[in-house]
Amino acid sequence: MAESITFSDVLAVINNAAPLTLQESYDNSGLLVGEPDTPFKGALICLDVTEDVVAEAITRSCNLIISHHPIIFHGLKSLRGDSSASRIIIQALRAHIGLLAAHTNLDAAQGGVNYAMAKKIGLHPEQVLAPVIGQPNAGIGLIGTLSSPMPEKDFLHYIARCFPEQPCLRFSVPTAKQILRVALCGGSGMEYLEAALQAKADAYLTGDVKYHDFQKPDGRLLLIDLGHRESELCATALLHDIVSQKFPTFVCSVSEQEKSPVNYFVSNKL
């Protein structure tokens, strides 16, 4: 009889591709809910674990949900069902479903989220914005060059096509530059703006840009807010590939029920 695959085995495969040693000090990646020696039956992949995602996992007979964002991020002092996180955890425990997250370790890994973003826009990576000491190809953010330069307006149209999930792009005051050298960081990356400027980027793509952040480029580069979720959706495909390639006989699906918590109203003014 073949030895069963456990949650620990799945975590080890993910850890091999995106080592937990790469996660930021504030992060909480790894197996967050469930016993490590639980036999693995199938995985559902998502960006955020929601109650709908847990229900979908039950329907699909998946007993492990692998998310990019950890359900337990800020301290939980109780599981009473009076918060979204506690309800989700209770729901998962009742259904014997494990919850595993690969967050900033997947962001920082070589071939991780930022490399997937670069591939999506046809960017040729040259260096990491904030490299891990001793690992120049691992760290947060990337900078590289496009195949050819393009005017800012054309570049905005191009990025909108590359990220169709985002209904509208926010960007800083145009610089009138040709865009060739591009920096990017999935999720919240404003703390790396200075690194993008020092690397002589013509544009910087990230998410969670605040009002006054748009003033910081001061004409030196084009800052584009893709949206936190939209910039990191590629994480689900990455996690799917990592798990399904190692365990091809197990069910491994990307959630179809997960929805963005952010909604947009675009007025069609005549």
The Cα–Cα gap between 242 and 112 comes to 11
| pLDDT tens-digit series, residues 107-129 | 999 999 999 999 999 999 999 99
pLDDT above 90: percentage of residues in the chain: 94
| pLDDT tens-digit series, residues 1-21 | 356 999 999 999 999 999 999
- Average pLDDT of the residues in 173-177: 95
Please indicate whether residue 75 or residue 206 has the higher confidence score (pLDDT).
206
Using the predicted structure, report yes or no on whether residue 206 has a pLDDT greater than 50: yes
Strand-pairing partners, residue 253, are 44
- Average pLDDT of the residues in 164-190: 96
Using the predicted structure, report yes or no on whether residue 212 has a pLDDT greater than 90: yes
| pLDDT tens-digit series, residues 42-64 | 999 999 999 999 999 999 999 99
- Average pLDDT of the residues in 242-264: 95
Residue 1: the pLDDT is 36
Q: In what order do the strands lie in the sheet with 251-254?
A: 30-33, 98-101, 64-67, 42-46, 251-254
- Average pLDDT of the residues in 254-265: 94
Report the mean per-residue pLDDT for the chain: 95
Using the predicted structure, report yes or no on whether residue 263 has a pLDDT greater than 80: yes
Using the predicted structure, report yes or no on whether residue 268 has a pLDDT greater than 80: no
Using the predicted structure, report yes or no on whether residue 97 has a pLDDT greater than 50: yes
Residue 269: the pLDDT is 65
